[in-house]
Chain A
Amino acid sequence: MLLVTALTGATVSAAHAGAEVSHFTLANGLEVVVVPDHRAPVVTHMIWYKVGAADETPGKSGLAHFLEHLMFKGTEKNPGDAFSRQVAAIGGQENAFTASDYTGFFQRVPRNHLKEMMALEADRITGLVLTDDVVRPELNVVLEEQNMRVANNPAARLGEQMDRALYLNHPYGRPVIGWRPEIEQLNREDALAFYRRFYSPNNAVVVVAGDITAEEVKADAEATYGKIADRAETNPRHRPMEPLQEAPRTVTLADMRVEQPSVSRDYLVPSENSAKPGESEALEVLAHVLGSGENCRLYRGLVVEQGLALNASASYAGTAVDYAKFAIFGAPKPGVSLPQLEAAIDGILAEVVAHGVSSDELDRAKTRLIAEAVYAEDNQATLARWYGAALATGRTVEGVRAWPERIRAVTAEAVQNAARTWLDRRRSVTGYLVKTLQSEEKRS
């Protein structure tokens, strides 16, 4: 359990117009969102703190994630693993996650146990107790997690190096799990200081999805979360921002274990939160036309028609406070070099910049994106994550609900403009994953 995800991959889309989502704010500043779904007698209860790896002090990378792990070590009122034991005793599931902008905890439980979960979660907003006896083994667990997710995985290591190169100044360049030498130095005092600074009702959002009504949630939230005094300053999140990016960057990671080379390109683009109206939606559609499904430009062009690649895709991960990544990926066929594939990718991007997308492509992409909102309604945990991630990155419930309409409004002209404006190599990093540095042919 306790995964780290960059969760940037999760597109915050929206709920079907049918879902009667409501929200309210308690006197202590805690915001609560309720997403009813009465099909099964279960609820998903999540708390999202508006703090993540991008809020860490330089030199203490990995601290947000380490604290996420330590949040399971007990409070004065519920010592040790009392919380987890209670979740297990009622047949529930729990987990947690950390990203650059937020840290989240959730339980999935039978509906009649929601208030208990709220009481336990409210207690650990301010009640955490840590001793070195529990902190030290957990640091080893986190180091093994870093081994599993990153050190053992060449593609993940390339991803870290690319992020570092993409962000010249912003802390999004920092790996969520942290740099290993810095993780090794984290300790109990660091974790508690970070906890006291950021964990507070007025810096959190609670999302409850499932077999429950807004009235029930409101009463239970007042009786549990409502009793916790806020203790954090509610400052807007001012992070160091990017200067003018003028030089395309390239990084190459070589590992003898790489049996399938690949090329990745990340562009620095606006997030849903930082974009001008319509811009983020256009990027979403652009990513879909370029790189999603078997009829997208990249797959069709590179895999099916030109026969240069085994796979090709594009994605836009817009759920973030300050910036987002627009990512392109290609895996060459044996015998095709990375520069050759990269040049072919650039050809396809240039085509869209020059001539835009057809109305047919536009309609197909919009239909599929809007349908995602209906498919998401089939899963209460998915909906809860959409709302939680959106609200933890500066968006609103209304904004999430209006997502299908915002996508519907995207024009072919807006998509071409987005391509022209944002697919600019000066704001990008290109990563090669190779077996040996010698095998890397000259870049185009």
Chain B
Amino acid sequence: MRGMRAAGRVVGLLAAIAATGLMFEASAGATTIERVVSPGGIEAWLVHERAVPLIAVEFAFAGGAVQDPAGKAGTATLTASLLDAGAGDLDSSAFSDRLERKAIQMNFSAQRDTIRGTMRTLAENRDEAFELLRLAVTSPRFDSKDVEISRAQILSLLRRETTSPTDIASRRWWETAFEGHPYGRPVNGTSETVSAISIADLKSYAHRVLARQNLKIAVVGDIDAEALKVLLDRTFGALPETPELYPIANVSPRGLGRRIEVSLDVPQTVVDFGGPGIPRQDPDFMAAYLINHILGGGSTDSRLYQEVREKRGLAYSVSDNLVWLDHASVLLGGTATRADRAGETVDLIEKEIRHFAENGPTAGELSEAKRYLNSAFALNLDSSTKIAALLVQLQLDGFDTDYFSRRTAMIEAVTLDDARRVAKRLLDKGLLVTVVGKPQGFASSKPN
């Protein structure tokens, strides 16, 4: 449970959060964001919402799997899985018992660049919930029995990943694109590295990464600013001021133009494709976001969906996403297709992307994409948990609370010329493609 949950779907989660990070609209005026700073100097973004008697807290420590020590990939994942497994005077069963008695939900996970935490509580159990959160982030126990349970769960997950086509395709893509860089290491580690992690490594990781300076917090629900200020200091005040992070180099994905096949005896062939993305603070970002939406950003109107699924029935799903990390950015997509037409599918996707790079979107596509991204935003503001996750992402991305009022104008400002230029900038460098299964009509190729 604990370990399995924390270890699973890390890449997917990152992509999902990254995607929601974009959607915001000025017309969602009902949501008022307050910047709250505690007497101890801890900042949180707050939306005070009384309609439902609960409180949602989301937070992130910059750090994540890139801060795993050399040869110990998976340290961040294992650490995160153990933060709620006993803390302070409470061993793991006493800690989970306290959570369960008040139906408090708490979870931690590791991504490439962050350790994230999420907590939900009924408003009536607020003080108990924040007290347990304080214990989890400031004094996790890492008792050896709990470490071994979590480690065994992660090792089991890693064994399963060795024969899962989607996991193999993704892992192969990242290790090829970022060979030699921490982004090339699997977030959950390998059986060798996870086996090598000691309790001292976990304690050292928590001490280095869980600090106040690299912490972003968002709170949504039935709590006001004054009450929150007190709880912020009480909950996070005992953390060290500054983290001790290894410097990480900026990097661009490599292996562009390369096709890699991994043979696996499965009826359906899984395809991952990707290339360079665009940094979140780049002036061309909004244009790139529109381009991504038109190409394969999840709508049934997208070019890839129309060409691959609707016209030819080659796949059930095909899409791509912009993924922006602290030290790299990529455009990453995927599909799963019948083996006898796998080569045709990859050729078709590459052809569509090349064509889009050369010609860009039509005026109609661009205006429809703008309209969509402007109005779809409100859909991400209809639950406290969603709002809180979005507010943390915006802080991680370096935005201010006025981002919402500026977003529509940023989208509207993208011209057709911008979009054409950025389509070329984003899409004409070639793709790294990893394919897992028994594909026909597909050949691996060497790097250019």
10 interchain residue pairs of minimum CB distance: A91-B375, A140-B313, A371-B103, A137-B313, A91-B376, A147-B268, A257-B163, A259-B159, A40-B382, A145-B316
Interface size class of A (residues with CB under 8 A): 35 or more
Asked if B100 contacts A368 (CB within 8 A), the reply is yes
B160, A260: Cβ atoms closer than 8 Å? yes
User: Among A6-14, A119-127, A278-286, A375-383, which stretch is in contact with chain B?
Assistant: A375-383
Instruction: State the Cβ distance, B251 to closest chain A Cβ, in Å.
Output: 31
Q: Identify 15 new A-B residue pairs, CB closer than 8 A, beyond the known A42-B381, A108-B379, A140-B312.
A: A1-B300, A40-B382, A41-B28, A88-B300, A91-B375, A141-B316, A152-B266, A152-B268, A256-B163, A257-B266, A259-B160, A259-B162, A310-B153, A367-B100, A371-B122
Q: Which residues of A contact B153 (CB under 8 A)?
A: 310-311
Q: How many angstroms between the C-alpha atoms of A331 and B156 in the bound complex?
A: 9
Contacts of A31 on B, CB cut-off 8 Å? none
A300 within 8 A of B: yes
In the complex, the answer to whether A210 meets B382 with C-beta atoms within 8 Å is yes
Judge whether A144 and B375 touch: CB under 8 Å.
no
Mark each residue of chain A from 127 to 167: 1 if its CB lies under 8 Å from any CB of chain B, else 0. Answer: 00000000011111111110110011000000000000000
Flag if A147 contacts B4 (CB, 8 Å): no
CB-defined A-B contacts under 8 Å, sample of 12: A41-B28, A42-B378, A91-B378, A93-B379, A139-B313, A143-B338, A144-B313, A152-B266, A311-B1, A367-B100, A379-B383, A379-B385
B296 CB, min distance to chain A CBs, angstroms: 13
Q: Is the CB–CB distance between A40 and B31 below 8 Å?
A: yes
A406 at the interface (CB under 8 A from B): no
> Hey, what's the 0/1 contact readout for A47-77 against B, CB within 8 Å counting as 1?
0000000000000000000000000100000
**A147 in contact with B267 (CB, 8 Å):** yes
Q: A110-B375, A152-B268, A310-B153 are in contact. Are A42 and B4 (CB under 8 A)?
A: no
CB distance from B159 to the nearest CB of A (A): 4
Q: Which residues of B contact A41 (CB under 8 A)?
A: 27-28, 30, 378
Structural contact, A39 and B310, CB atoms closer than 8 A: no
In the complex, B314 has a CB within 8 A of chain A:
yes
Q: Which of B104-133 contact A (CB under 8 A)?
A: 105, 120, 122
Nearest-neighbor residue (CB-CB) of B123 within chain A? A374
Question: Which residues of chain A are near B156, meaning CB under 8 Å?
Answer: 259-260, 310, 331
Contact A140 B379 (CB under 8 A): no
Q: At the interface, yes or no: B412 with Cβ under 8 Å from chain A? A: no
- Contact assessment for B266 and A295 in the assembled complex, using a CB-CB cutoff below 8 Å: no
Given that A259-B163, A311-B1, A380-B382 are known contacts, is A333 also in contact with B101, CB under 8 Å in the complex? no
Q: Which residues of B contact A399 (CB under 8 A)?
A: none
> Most chain-B Cβ atoms within 10 A of its Cβ — which of A92, A256, A295?
A295
Check A379/B372 contact, CB under 8 A, given A299-B1, A368-B100.
Answer: no
B51 interface residue per 8 A CB criterion: yes
Complex Cα distance, B122 from A185, in Å, reads 51
B383 neighbours in A (Cβ, 8 Å): 378-380
Across the two chains, which residue of chain A brings its CB closest to B163? Answer: A257
Closest beta carbon of chain B to A45's beta carbon, Å: 12
Q: Return chain A residues, CB-CB under 8 Å to B338.
A: 140, 143-144, 147
Distance A72 CA – B306 CA, assembled complex (angstroms)? 13
Contact with B along A229-266 (1 / 0, CB 8 A): 00000000000000000000000000011111000000
Q: Which of B2, B267, B371, B374 is A151 in contact with, Cβ under 8 Å?
A: B267
How close is B49's CB to chain A, nearest CB, in angstroms? 6
The residues of B that contact A295 with a CB separation of less than 8 Å are 93, 96-97, 100
Contacts of A91-107 to chain B: CB distance below 8 A = 91-94
CB-based nearest A residue for B25: A91
Q: What number of A-B contacts does a CB cutoff of 8 Å give?
A: 189
Q: Does B299 contact A (CB under 8 A)?
A: yes
Q: Which of B41-62 contact A (CB under 8 A)?
A: 49, 51-54, 56
Report whether B268 and A91 are in contact in the complex, using a CB–CB cutoff of 8 Å. no
Whether A152 lies near B165 (C-beta < 8 A) is yes
Measured CA separation A139–B309 after assembly (Å): 11
| Distance of A142 Cα from B317 Cα, bound (Å) | 11
Q: Which of A172-188 contact B (CB under 8 A)?
A: none
Distance between Cα atoms of A110 and B381 in the complex (Å): 11
Known: A144-B338, A304-B93. A84 touches B315 (CB 8 A): no
| Chain B nearest CB, measured from A13 CB (Å) | 13
| CA–CA, A8 and B373, complex, Å | 34
| A333 contacts across to B, CB distance below 8 A | 152
Q: How far is the CB of A130 from chain B (nearest CB, A)?
A: 15
A137 near B382 (CB under 8 angstroms)? Answer: no
Is B400 among interface residues, defined by CB-CB distance under 8 A?
no
| A residues near B265, Cβ cutoff 8 Å | 256-257
Q: Indicate whether B442 reaches chain A with its CB closer than 8 angstroms.
A: no
Shortest Cβ gap from B197 to chain A (Å): 17
Residues of A participating in the B interface, judged by any CB pair closer than 8 Å: 1, 16, 18, 37-42, 72, 81, 84-85, 88-94, 108, 110, 136-145, 147-148, 151-152, 210, 256-260, 293-295, 299-300, 303-304, 310-311, 313, 331, 333-334, 364, 367-368, 370-372, 374-375, 377-381
B9 on the A face (CB < 8 A):
no
Flag whether B377 is at the interface (Cβ < 8 A). yes
Q: B384 near A: Cβ within 8 Å?
A: yes
A303 vs B92: C-alpha distance when bound (angstroms): 13
Which residue of B has the minimal Cβ distance to A145?
Answer: B316
| Shortest Cβ distance from B105 into A: residue | A375
The yes or no answer to B102 lying at the interface (CB within 8 A) is: yes
Determine whether B336 belongs to the interface, using a CB cutoff of 8 Å to chain A. Answer: yes
Interface string of B82-107 (1 = CB under 8 A from A): 00000000001100110011110100
Partner of B53, one of A1, A94, A374: A374
Give chain B residues whose Cβ lies under 8 Å from the Cβ of A294.
Answer: 1-2, 92-93, 96, 100
Partner of B28, one of A40, A142, A259, A313: A40
Say yes or no: A84-B300 contact (C-beta < 8 A), given A293-B100, A310-B156, A375-B120. Answer: yes
Q: How far is the CA of A41 from the CA of B31 in the complex (A)?
A: 10
B368 within 8 A of A: yes
Question: A179 to chain B: closest CB distance in Å?
Answer: 15
Shortest distance between the CB of B78 and any CB in chain A (Å): 14
Contact indicator A42/B122 (Cβ below 8 Å) = no
Contacts of B230 in A (CB 8 A): none
Residues of B within 8 A of A108 (CB): 379
Contact B267–A152 (Cβ < 8 Å): yes
- B268 x A148 contact (CB < 8 A): yes
Which residues of chain A are within 8 angstroms of B344 by Cβ–Cβ distance?
none
A108 to B313, alpha carbons, bound, how many Å? 26
Q: Which residues of B contact A81 (CB under 8 A)?
A: 300, 310
Task: Answer whether A374 and B51 are a contact pair too, CB < 8 Å, given A92-B376, A367-B103.
Answer: no
Q: A42-B378, A144-B268 are in contact. Are A88 and B313 (CB under 8 A)?
A: no
Select one of B52, B152, B268, B381 contacting A310, CB under 8 A: B152
Are A303 and B27 within 8 A (Cβ)? Answer: no
- B124 CB to nearest chain A CB (Å): 10
B337 interface residue per 8 A CB criterion: yes
Q: How far does the Cβ of A315 sit from chain B's closest Cβ, in whole Å? A: 13
Beta-carbon contacts under 8 Å, B162-205 to A: 162-165
Out of B53, B96, B336, B377, name the residue touching A293 (CB < 8 Å).
B96
